[in-house]
Structure formats: C-alpha cells, structure tokens
Structure 1
Amino acid sequence: MSVLEFIDTPICPSALSPSHSNDQTLHAENETKLAAQTLATPDELVDQIIAQVGKKIVIGVPLAIGKPIAFINALYQRAKADPSISLRIETGITLEKPIGKSTLEKNFLGPFVEREFANVPDIDYICGLRKGDMPSNICVNEFFFKAGSFLNSTQQLNYTSTNYTHAVRDLLDKGVNVVAQIVAKRIINGVTTYSLCSNSDLALDFIPEMDRLKAEGVPMAIVGEVNNNMPFMRNHAEVADCEFDFILDGNLNEKHEDYALFAAPNASISQEDHMIGLYSSTLIKDGGTLQVGIGSLSSALTYSTMLRHQNNSVYQQVLHDLQVAEKFPLSCVIGETGTFEEGLYGCSELMVDGFMHLFKAGILKREVFEDLTIQTLLNENKITPKVTISTLLTLLEHNAISSVLNSDDVDYLKRIGVFKSSVHYHNGLLNITDSSYLGNLKNEEALQWITKHCLNSALCGGVVMHGAFFIGPKDFYEALNTMTDAEHDQFCMTSVNYVNELYDHFLGSQQLKQAQRKHARFINSAMMVTLNGSVISDALENGQVVSGVGGQYNFVAQAHQLPGARSILKLRSCCVRGGKLQSNILFNYGHTTIPRHLRDTVITEYGIADLRSKSDHVVYTELIKIADSRFQQELLEKAKAAGKVAKDYQIPAEFCNNTPEAIAQVYDKYTAQDFFGPFPFGCSFTEEELKLGKALKSLKNKTATRKGKAQCLWQALSAPKPTAAIEPLLKRIGMNEPNNLQDRITKRLLTAELSK
C-alpha cells in the first residue's frame, strides 16, 4: 500500500488495533499543500533555495546513489564562487569512481572505469576533498563513510557517529534547512507522483518534521531531482508532488539526458567467503525473515541459500563433508537445511541484489501484510493467503468483523482482498453487478451467495520485501526497472525507522512489525571480534573510522527483543595488516561497535560460535574453535592467563585443523563440479582484467613489508621474458614499453607474478 493510500485511508484492524474504525487515521490531519515548483536547471534551483532559506545552507542529502548530483554540484560551485555563502553538507556514503593510487592501479582501472561508469558524473565536493582545495566556507560531514575511504584523512574530523535510525533527529539538531534527493517521476491520468526510489530511508520521516518546522516559521526546503534512470519504487516510496517544495527536472530541457546511476560491480567471492555464506545459510529457517549487508559475504550467503533450495542434494553433501551438524549443533537447533516451501520475507535496511536473486529463485516469497489481524492469523496457520469462505468465518471468529456485515466491514474486507473491489454495501445488502443479498454470515444461503459472488482469489497487499535504501550492480537496477505491476506490489521501500526498529511508527505498529518478523535472522558483517564477544565493525582502536555504525546496532538489539530472532555476525578469521597475517579474533581490542552483552552468533570460514546466554568460559572457547589454527594456541594461552578459560582446557581435535588448506580440500572438490565460483552472479571484469587484478593484488600483499619487497625483487631478477600470452596483459596495463628503471623493475615483477 502506498503512503498516499495510508494518509487518505482509515486504518482497519490493521496496524494499530484488532478492531477497525473509520475515524482512526495515520495522520490526524492531512493539510492541503501546494504542488512543488518545478525548475529546469540546477542554477535556477540554487537561486530559489537561497531566496527561501538564505545564504547559510545546511543541506542533508541521502547516502549512496540517492544524492541529487546535478543540484548538489551546482550548489557547491555557487558556494565556491561566493564566499558569503556558508554551505554545510550532511550526508553518508559518498560514492566515487575508483582511480587508483599507484601508476599500475591507475592504468588498470582507467579503461574499466571508462567502460563501467560511463555517464556517471563525479560529485564535486568529493573531488574537492580529494584534491585538498575545499573552500573554508564549505564543510562536508558524514555519518557513514564508504568503507576505508577516509582513513588517514582530515575527514576524520567531520565524522558523526550515529545510529541510522537517529539520523533524522541528529540532522535536525544540526540545523538542516534543506533536504534533497533523487526522485523518479510518473504521471497517471494527469496526476503526478514521485518515487523516493533508492532512498525512502530518511525522507519519509524528514517530510513531516520539516513541515512542522515550516509551520512554526522556520525557513525550510524539500527538494527532489528527477532522474528517470532510477527504478520507480511504489508502495511507501511513492509520494505526492506536494510533499516537495521544489523539483529539479532537467527533462523539461530539450535533448536533456538523465545521468547514469552509480552501479557497484559484483565483488569476487573467495573460498573463505563461500564457507562463511554456507554456514550462515544453515541458520535460516523456512518461513522466516532475512536481513543482510553488502559485499562478497552477502553474495556468498545468497549463493548458498540458493544452492540449498535449488540443488539440495549437493548442499547436503557439502554439509556432510564439513560435519556441520556434528560440530555446530546450533544449525539444527535454530536453523534448517531443507528447501524453502513457505519461503522468506526480506526486512533489511539495505536491499541488495541478492534479494532479487532470491526472489527469482522462488525463495523470497513469504508475504507479510499491513493488517495485524491478518498477519497474526497467517502466523498461526488459521488462514492462508488464498481466500475461501473459511477466511471470512475465521475473521468473524476472531471478532474482526460482525456477523451481519456493515459498511465498515465491507470496506475492510475489500481493502485486505477478501472481497472483490466491485462489492458494495447499501441499505444492509451486499451488491455486485446486478445481484444483491443480505450480508449475514450466520445464514447458510448468504454464505453460499458470498462464496459465489464476493470472494477474491487471494489476499491483497502482501509484501515480500521491506527495504530502506538500495545500491547494486547494473543488472539489479535493470531488474527493478522491469518488474511487473504485481512484482512491484511485493517490494516496499520504506522508512529506515520502520525497518530497523520495533517501535510504533506511522507506517506500522510494534505489534505488526513483531508479527511480520517471525524467525528473524539479522545477518551482518564485522571486521573483528574479541574473545568476550564484543564486535568491531566500524572503527579502529586509534579512533579512526572505517565506515560507520549505520543500522548494525539496531538489528543486533532487535534480535534480542524479538522472540525467535538471532543476530548473526560474519567475519573472515584473519587478514593481512601491514604486510603481516593477523587474526581477526582477538583477545581484546580498544574499540567496540557491538558490546559483549549483546553477543549472539559469530561465523567465520571455520564454523559457527553460539554465544548467546553462555558463560564466559564457553564464549571464549567457542570463538577459539572458529579461529584460524595458526592463532588458536596464542588466544587460548591469553584466555587462560586471564582466568577466563580453565587451565586444563584443550581445544577439541576436530577444531585444530582450521587452515586455508583444509578448506581448500572441500572447496576445490565442488569448484571442480562448477559450484562455489568466484562470480556466480556475473562479472564486470574482462578475462585480461581478472588475471591482472589477481597478480596486482598478490604483488601488493607480498611487497607490503621490506622483507617481502626484497624477496620479490630477487625473484624479479630471474624472471623469464614475457611470453606471447603475457605481452597483451602488460600492454593493457601500460607496462609493455617501460620508460625508466622503476618501470622496468615493475615490468619484471609483474611478469614474474603473471608467469605463476
């Protein structure tokens, strides 16, 4: 159901109470507002904004792809040229095309970026930050960095730590007086509406708050920038044109072309990622709720979940080879490993392309409804989405309707899809076409007439996915753009406060959200975890911010509040930092994102650690069991020295072979059968680029230390001449004809790596 419908329609037994009433509305009053003023050029819009709010502008723009680039660039350039303008930009996840640091990286990325990001404009303020020429009258604050993008940067000074659900509050506290984002536009029967598209996350909560401030006389402006490359998302994301003060629509200009959206290429899924995804997939319960993050770990989970459903015999064999049930009984206690008959419902702040893959695979199919009575009866298996006369009688039994139907009952039954929309109530009779009858549910003949004339085939308004924002690869946007009307009805972009919290919200009550989110599995990624169960996901112990808290804390807390829910945090067991292999399972660390008292489930490529409700001895040993074996003894000794693990404890033998080689034995067996590939959902790189990328990554890791550099240089001296197969690769990266000594050494290093 769209927000437009919500505002204008009374609530029936729906989100707030088990009884319905025509005088209950989502908003007490829907004040008449003027349609937005539409402008054709960014400079005209800048003029209007300055006229409305003045020259002290604090603008909030959404994270990721929802930024109105034409407008924000024009505003930035105006402030850059006019020092009397004070411009503060409040945002998160500013996306930028990769450029590379070294000559090799730049040569590698150049053709790729030109191909993959054609017609994607640069954001001027991020270019200014990178060049270091940001004027003193302009400031950029972010509440979530693109991962690792501002380490060792002065932008560390301008980071705001906040939960995603607190962003609207915090931005208003910071004096935001302009909110702007990309929208898509459509006109049906002369009525213009706009979609919040990729970012309904904050806008749905911003609009009423800014309206309230405007009513108090505070100068404010809400801006939409039309870009029809954006998928037009409906339901909650579709809003009236009067919700904006200004609309920038370049399409009013002849020959205008909307710029392309920033698309994130599919990341390579490593063998470690695949194992983490596999273990995670065993904890998902059929008929449950799923939330996931972004990146290769998310893609790996999607892949294994699809393998479980589409090729269950292979899936079961992999689990058998890894002894999952025996080593990690939690998978049998809270999870399942069969196919998805009832299916999953997606409830995730970030709607990634994985949800579309699950939808097309017939896994994302459990519908939830905006009516508490209906949702509760579905959960209790007292009704199904298919409508029969039993549906009607069950609603009567639970006092959702009267035995003698009245006009309110009929409106309600039509809204939830039990009755056809063509049914009408008049003077105590149900009417449809040329037939009418008493709406007495105690009368057998009346029931027969209702069955024949009034009943719909299925409930309406079912949603399989609630999301707050999205970003993904090009084919994801294309899939969203080409959905049928029926498919669009099942995907609802909504407020982040609706998705990330359980509290009452104008789009749904806590009771409704709890009913929808049965068997919830909130699955997120982390960087490190300490043996006491604390999790590090957003920053380093020196205070430098890697990304942000975002919604992770919300979902972890929600998992502890919802009956039957679990928080699952995934991380690779170790990584290379400063050229040295280090464990991501640590004894302690000087920063925490998720505190130890909210510990729940942690997964690495070596298995599952069940930490919820466990004593410290168990928590410490469970995490040591899924650590890389190269670090297990050191971790165990520290734990024993601190008195957190019994002195006589020994790591069970079955957990003492946690090595990449052990994983490879299982992984290689199935990759030879074309399972668990690095790019199961497509690849944006050419074969040449994949080979070069692998070699460059390997060289970067090997030369991260002085010793590594020396070894590589020694090997390069004896490197063979480039073969005919290697020559085109060197040419692709601009190293076929080196101009100086450094380039000649680089050519030898790369040749040696490519020859392996």
Structure 2
Amino acid sequence: MAHRCTLDEAVDRLLAGLDGPIRLGLPLGLGKPNHLVNQLYRRLGEQPARQLTLYTALSLGRPRAGSELQRRFLEPFVERLYGDYPELDYLRDLRQGSLPPNVRVEEFYLQPGSLLDSAPAQQNYISCNYSHVARDLDAKGINAVAQLVARDPARPGRLSLSCNPDITLDLLPMLRRRRAAGERILCIAVVHRDLPYMPGDAEVDEDVFDLLVEQPADTSTLFSTPYMPVGWQDHCIGLHASALVRDGGTLQVGIGAMGDAVTSALLLRQRDNVAYRELLAALAVPQRHGQLIDREGGLGPFSEGLYGCSEMFVPGLLDLAEAGVLGRRVHPRAQQRRADAGEAVPGGVWLHGGFFLGPRAFYQRLRELPAERLAGIGMTGIGFVNNLYRDEELKRQQRRDARFINSAFTVTLLGAGVADQLEDGRVVSGVGGQYNFVAQAHELHGGRSILLLRSWRENGGEVSSNIVWNYGHTTIPRHLRDMVVTEYGIADLRGRNDAEVIEALLAIADSRFQDGLIAEAKAAGKLPADFELDRRYRDNLPERLRAVCAQHREALPEYPLGCDFTPEERDLLRALTWLKSKLRLSEILELGKATLDAPAPEAFPAHLARMGLEQPDGLREELYQRLILAGLQATRNGFV
C-alpha cells in the first residue's frame, strides 16, 4: 500500500531508501512533479558525494526573451499565463551550464530550440524513438520514478496517470520484474488538484506507487502552451493536407501551427464544405492533385468519421471530436468482432493518445467533460500507440487508411526529412515518435505518412529555401519518403525513382529557388541535362497565395482553435514576428528606414502602452517605439 506522506517526507524516504546513485525517471512534459524534483535537486546539491541522474524529456520552462522588445512583450503575458508555475531549478542551471558535478540530466526530447547552446544538454541528449524509451531507461537501471497524478474522490483507491501514461505504463512491468529479482526501486506519486482525471488504461491502483504525496495536493499553476497564430503559409499547407484525409480512416497529427492549420482545414471541410471547396479551387488544389485526392483522400464532409491514434493528444483533436470529424470508435478485441459483424456495441474510444499538453482552456475542457464523453479518450502507453506489434492483427484492422501528419523544417530534393537536429549536430528537439509513425505508414495497408513543410523561410531579411539539395542530417531517411506537403502543393514520393522524386519536389518548391535546385540536381547527374520543369509550377510565389488568402480571410482565422492573447497582444505579436523576419539589429540603415516609414504614435496608443513605450525615455526607447509602430503598420491588415 502506498505510504501517504508530505513532500519533505517523500524526499527523505527517497534519499534514505536508495543506496548509492539515484537514477530518477520523470515523465515527459506536463507530468513532472516540479516541487519534488526541485527539493531533491537542492538536497543533492548539499551532498556532493551523492550522484543524481535525471532521465526525462521536454523539461518545460517559461518562454524567454531574446531581445528587449521581446522582453517587454513577454513579461506581462508570461506572468498572466504561468502564474506560480514552479520553474525547474535544474533547467535553469542546464541553460547556464552550471549543474553541480554530481548531477546529470539526460533527455530524449528537448523543448524545441531552447537548449541549442547548452553544452551539457547537447552532450547528454539521448537519441531514440519514443517507443524505445522505456526499454532504454530500464537498461540504464533507473531506481526511482516520480510523476504528477490526478485524484477523483468518487474513485477511492485509484489514481489517474492523466497527462502521462505514455512511458509509465510501458515501464512499470519492467520495474516489477527487477523488483522481483531483489532490486530496490521507489515509485512516487504527487497528486495535482487541477490535472484532469483520465479513465481507462491511465487509471491505476494507488498501490502502484510506494509513496503518495496528497495532503496537501499540488495546487500550483499547470504549465500551458498558448495557442499561437496560424499564418497564410501554414493555412495553405493545412488545406492541402486536409484533402488527403479519407473518411472512415485514422488520424495522427502533431503539435504546432501547421498541425493547427490541418485541424482548421478539417473543421472547415466538415462545417462549411462549400467554402472549403471554393478555397481549395482558388488554390488550384483539385486542378493539380485531383486524381491523388480521389485515390487517397476526399473533399466531402465526414459521415463515418475518423479514429484518432496520436502519441500527443493535441487540443485540436478534441475540437475535431466535438465537430463530428473524430467519431469512429474502436474496441477491445471481443467487442470489435461484434462491431465488425454489424452489432451495435456501446462504448469504445475515438482516440488513443500517449500524453497531452496544451493551453489552460484545454485542461479545463477535459475536467468538465461528462463521464461518457471522457470515456471515449483512451490515454495509454506509447508502446501501444506508436507500434503495430502487440495485438498487431487488431491494430491493423482498426488503423485503416491511416494518415500520420507531422512536420519537418527541411526536406532534401531526394526526399529525406529533417525535423530534429541541425546540420552541425546540435539537437533542436528530438525524433520523438515521428519515425515510428512514418514506419507505420509504410507497414499499414492504406497508410500514408505526410510531412508538412514551409517551402521557404525568412530571417533577418534573408530568404532561403527549406527544400535543399543536401543536408548533413536526416530524421526520416529517403528510403521512407512518402508524401510531402508545402503551401504550393503535394508531392507523392512513394515508390518513385530519384528523378521523379526530384521533379515532384521541385513542383512544390518556391519558384525563387527552383532554378538553383535544378542546377544542383543536374550537376549530380540526377536529372537529364535537358530537363525543364512544367510551367504550371513556375508561379509558386508568395504573392499569389497571399492574394487568395486575403480573398478568403473569413475562412482562415488567425487563431482557429482559440487565443490566449489580448487584441493588442495579437497585433504586437504579428508586428514582432515581422520585425524579426525583415530586420537585423546590426543593420542600422535598415532599422533607420523602418523607423522613418512608421506612423505617428497616436495611431496605436494602447499598443505602445502595453509595451511601456507610450512615453519613450531617451534615443533607445524612441527607436524601439518607432520599430513597433513600423511593425504594426506593416501587419495591420492581416497575416505575416
């Protein structure tokens, strides 16, 4: 039976109950018991002879500003959104390179882009598929596990792993075997008052844990990820991808603006199919890809509905369920046979997920869902979601016409995808489950992997292509190439030879870079010397798509799933994004021109007040004021 104790007592028992080094496993993301971890970290800092290794992923910290203007925008917003969320002390020291010598942090997934310059984080990063994490942690001999859990007074003796059954459910049987062999292993649960109580596989007996910290329960602010704007480029990507989703099929979609854009497009397809078809026609999607869409996807609303099978339960999936897009339910084996025979079988789930993370409003929605609706969400182990083995026959039957939709930041002209690491070896995030889903797509009958890619990017006034001839690292090797979607179209790469793959990707590349890419491919002997790209694809330019999006602005909301920003903050975020893309702080002439073109302060008084620049003090603040005004003026009419 779990021993009920305070936070202090839990740390005392952990230190006293384990001899030698402590190897502590913590959940990915939201489920970390930060107060417990911070106290243990501080105690070990006072005991330099005692070794501590933390094994985890996605250590979440408040957004940090990279410039003075970002600081002025972020500080009030962060204070409002994160409140008393307890920052992880080890994360602060990891960023600063000041971890104590007796402490090491090993992560298999990093908060994207946050630890590029942290040598300890880069050196101790573990590169592995999400589905292999439990196996690898067990091999490392972890001897303690700690995580946040949820409590429901109506379920005495039970706890919910809530947001993070992903690794815990896979790991517990391994730990039990080692315990049976005589190893000392401690499992600690910390009840958080605001975590949604998720039923099904996520619900476990209290006795799974040795120590239970419940009185008082953790009441600090849960970490949340605010809804971010979806720009015209991402909306175009989402619209193309949405046409590849087949009614009655299976859906996995990742986090981020491009994933939200896919969700927005699917919602439009369901709720206003006429507007959806008009928008796709304006983008020439049916004209260019009609046969592919007829074969692999569809443009009509969803009648049978989709089944969700996604390692991350993103908020958009709940929106899709409420709109009737996600509604195809699957069942355990015995019930599935009855359902397949046409019998009405109650229950079942419309989503299997491994973990969740999102805005505060998302957690609130989950807490308020009626029991019968909540029962349709099957939070479970990542080994179930990300793999086909273990009841493979049933999974193949249920995961029909699967569309695994993920993003990349670079794709090579031969079809390899880059999503986790820079060319110099520094890790941006991690492979997570992306490879798992791409592999599943190739193994499942009717399954397809869809990589979403912005065809170009702009930073500091420099525009570059995200489709390149070659790159020094790949996340998805080219022998697993399948579908790539940019704002300009869809490239179906499966089973094609190299020259065909190159031509298909050139057709969805930005036209400003097509000639250079063709020259590189010809120089390598991968295209015939007389190759010419079809002229239909020579007008892949932002101006054309911006004009279409402007004409259909009502169907393309900037925040399609919700918003955590005030109206002034939305404008300011757009302006700051524009400034970052267009200007370099080192380019004085460029900055000067931007300030000369700026409107008078009277045009945006509330925005300047929000940034503390309504009455600039000195030349520096005057420059900041003029830059903000220039950005607001440039972006006042819509998308960045």
Same fold (TM > 0.5): yes
**1:701 aligned partner:** 581
Query: Which AA in structure 1 matches 2:365?
Result: A
Q: Secondary structure at the match of 1:185?
A: coil
Give per-residue Cα distances to partners, 1:655-677, cap 9 Å, x unaligned: 11111111112111110xx1101
The amino acid across from 1:274 in the alignment is H
Counterpart of 2:133 (choices 143, 160, 167) is: 167
1:131 shift after superposition: 4.0
Matches within 5 A, 1:320-339: 320-328=281-289, 329-339=291-301
Contact 1:702 1:712 in 2 (8 A): no
Confirm or deny that 1:295 pairs with 2:173: no
| SS state at 1:712 partner | helix
Residue matched to 1:730: 608
**C-alpha distance in structure 1 between counterparts of 2:308 and 2:82, whole Å:** 29
User: Match for 2:614: what amino acid?
Assistant: N
CA distance 1:621–1:339, shift in 2 (3 Å): same
Aligned with 2:113 (options 120, 124, 148): 148
Q: What do the CA deviations read for 1:322-349 (whole angstroms, capped 9, x no partner)?
A: 2222312311211111111110000000
Tell whether 2:429 aligns with 1:547. Answer: yes
| One-letter amino acid matched to 1:688 | E
1:499 counterpart = 2:414? no
Residue pair 1:325, 1:332 contacting (<8 A) in 2 also: no
Matches for 1:391-470 after TM superposition, within 5 Å: 459-470=345-356
Query: Does structure 1 conserve the Cα–Cα contact (< 8 Å) formed by 2:95 and 2:118?
Result: no
Query: Does the CA contact (< 8 Å) of 1:59 and 1:176 recur in 2?
Result: yes
> What code does the residue aligned with 1:545 have?
V
Q: Which residue of 2 aligns with 1:750?
A: 628
Equivalent in the alignment of 1:513: 395
The aligned amino acid for 1:554 is N
Q: Secondary structure at the match of 1:724?
A: helix
Q: Return the alpha-carbon distance in structure 2 between the equivalents of residues 103 and 520 of structure 1.
A: 45
Please give the alpha-carbon distance, in whole angstroms, between the structure 2 residues aligned to 1:592 and 1:131.
29
1:588, CA displacement in angstroms? 0.8
Note the C-alpha offset of 1:692. Answer: 1.9
Which residue number corresponds to residue 420 of structure 2? 538
Distance in 2, Cα, partners of 1:185 & 1:55: 33
Where does residue 447 of structure 1 map in the other structure? none
| Inter-partner Cα distance in structure 2 for 1:218 and 1:341 | 53
Asked if 1 retains the 8 angstrom alpha-carbon contact of 2:460 and 2:582, the reply is no
Mapped pair 1:473 → 2:359: yes
Q: 2:164 aligns with which of 199, 206, 213?
A: 199
Spell out the pairing of 1:113-192 with structure 2 (5 A cutoff).
Answer: 113-154=78-119, 155-188=121-154, 191-192=156-157
Matched, 1:311 2:272: yes
Q: Contact (CA 8 Å) 1:569, 1:601: kept in 2 or not?
A: yes
Q: Are 2:307 and 1:345 equivalent residues in the alignment?
A: yes
3-state SS of paired residue (1:603): strand
Identify the range of structure 1 (346-355 vs 70-79) with the bigger mean alpha-carbon deviation: 70-79
1:152 CA drift (Å) = 2.1
Distance 1:477 1:721 in 2: 41
Deviation at 1:270, TM superposition (A): 0.5
Q: For the residues of structure 2 that align with 1:715 and 1:219, how far apart are their CA atoms?
A: 64
Residue 430 (structure 1) aligns with: none
Q: 1:630 and 1:182 mapped to 2: Cα distance?
A: 50
8 Å contact 2:316–2:561 — kept in the other structure?
no
In structure 2, which of residues 32, 35, 53 is the aligned counterpart of residue 67 of structure 1? 32
Q: Distance in 1 between matches of 2:39 and 2:591?
A: 48
Residue identity (%) = 42
Give the AA of the match of 2:577: K
Change in 2 beyond 3 A, CA 1:720/1:649: closer
With over 3 angstroms needed to count, the CA separation of the structure-2 counterparts of 1:691 and 1:709, relative to structure 1, is farther
C-alpha distance in 1 between matches for 2:218 and 2:331:
39
Structure-2 separation of matches of 1:331 and 1:715 = 44
Q: Give how far 1:63 is off.
A: 0.9
| d(CA) in 2 for partners of 1:741, 1:325 | 54
Q: In structure 2, how many angstroms separate the alpha carbons of the residues matched to 1:51 and 1:114?
A: 37
What does 1:563-578 align with in structure 2 at a 5 Å threshold?
563-577=445-459
Tell me if the contact between 2:330 and 2:349 (Cα under 8 Å) persists in the aligned partners. Answer: yes
- In 1, Cα distance between the equivalents of 2:260 and 2:599? 39
Shift in Å, 1:143: 0.6
Deviations 1:196-223 (A, max 9, x none): 1000101111111111111111111111
Give how far 1:171 is off: 1.3
**CA deviation after TM superposition for structure 1 residue 460, in Å:** 3.0
- 2: CA distance between counterparts of 1:577 and 1:281? 28
With over 3 angstroms needed to count, the CA separation of the structure-2 counterparts of 1:705 and 1:101, relative to structure 1, is closer
Shift of 1:680: 1.6
Q: Please state how far the C-alpha of 1:103 moved relative to its aligned partner.
A: 2.2
CA spacing shift, 1:749–1:483, aligned 2, 3 Å: closer
1:702 positional shift:
2.5
- Letter of the structure 1 residue corresponding to residue 15 of structure 2: I
Superposition map of 1:170-319 within 5 A: 170-188=136-154, 191-249=156-214, 252-253=215-216, 258-319=219-280
Which residues of structure 2 form unaligned runs of 5+?
635-640
Question: Is the 1:579–1:705 Cα contact (8 Å) retained in structure 2?
Answer: no
Q: Which residue of 2 aligns with 1:383?
A: 342
Contact 1:96 1:122 in 2 (8 A): yes
Shift of 1:720: 6.1
The answer to which of 293-302 and 110-119 deviates more is 110-119
Offset at residue 721 of structure 1 (A): 7.2
2:265 is paired with a residue whose SS is: helix
Judged with a 3 Å threshold, the aligned counterparts in structure 2 of structure 1 residues 322 and 377 are, in CA distance, closer, same or farther, namely farther
The 2-side partners of 1:325 and 1:104 are apart by 43
Counterpart check, 1:633 vs 2:515: yes
Q: Which has the higher mean CA deviation after the structures are superposed, 590-599 or 178-187?
A: 178-187
Instruction: Give ranges in structure 1 of 5+ residues lacking alignment.
Output: 1-34, 387-458
Distance 1:102 1:323, change over 3 A: closer
CA contact (8 A) 1:719 1:752 kept: yes
Match of 1:710 in 2: 589
Secondary structure of residue in 2 paired with 1:492: strand
- Within the candidate set 547, 560, 567, 1:680 is matched to 560
Deviation at 1:571, TM superposition (A): 0.9
The 1:587/1:492 distance shift into structure 2, 3 A limit, reads same
CA distance in 2, matches of 1:221, 1:720: 61
Normalised by the length of structure 1, the TM-score is 0.81
Give 3-state SS (helix, strand or coil) of 2:555's partner. Answer: coil
User: Cα 1:709–1:699, aligned 2, differ >3 Å: closer, same or farther?
Assistant: farther
Q: 1:172 to 1:623 in 2, by over 3 A?
A: same
Q: Is the 8 A contact 1:308 1:337 kept in 2?
A: yes
The answer as to whether partners of 2:193 and 2:218 remain within 8 angstroms in 1 is no
Displacement of 1:593 after TM fit?
A: 0.6
Residues 651/65 of structure 1: CA separation in 2 closer, same or farther (3 Å cut):
same
How far residue 55 of structure 1 moved from its aligned partner, in angstroms, is 4.5
| Contact 2:59–2:110 (Cα < 8 Å) also in 1 | yes
Output the CA distance in 1 between the equivalents of 2:481 and 2:198.
Answer: 36
Amino acid at match of 1:640: K
Distance 1:686 1:599, change over 3 A: same
* Equivalent-residue separation in structure 2 for 1:753 and 1:309 (angstroms): 36
Alignment of 1:518-529 (within 5 A): 518-529=400-411
Partner in structure 1 of residue 325 of structure 2:
363
Taking the aligned partners of 2:201 and 2:594, their CA distance within structure 1 comes to 60
Shift in CA distance, 335/751, structure 1 to aligned 2, threshold 3 Å: closer
| Deviation, structure 1 residue 86 | 1.3
Output the CA distance in 2 between the equivalents of 1:753 and 1:625: 33
Q: 1:127–1:82: structure 2 CA closer, same or farther, 3 Å change rule?
A: same
| TM-score (structure 2 length as normaliser) | 0.96
Q: Distance in 1 between matches of 2:116 and 2:328?
A: 41
Letter of the structure 1 residue corresponding to residue 576 of structure 2 = L
Aligned residues between the structures? 632
Q: CA RMSD in A?
A: 1.7
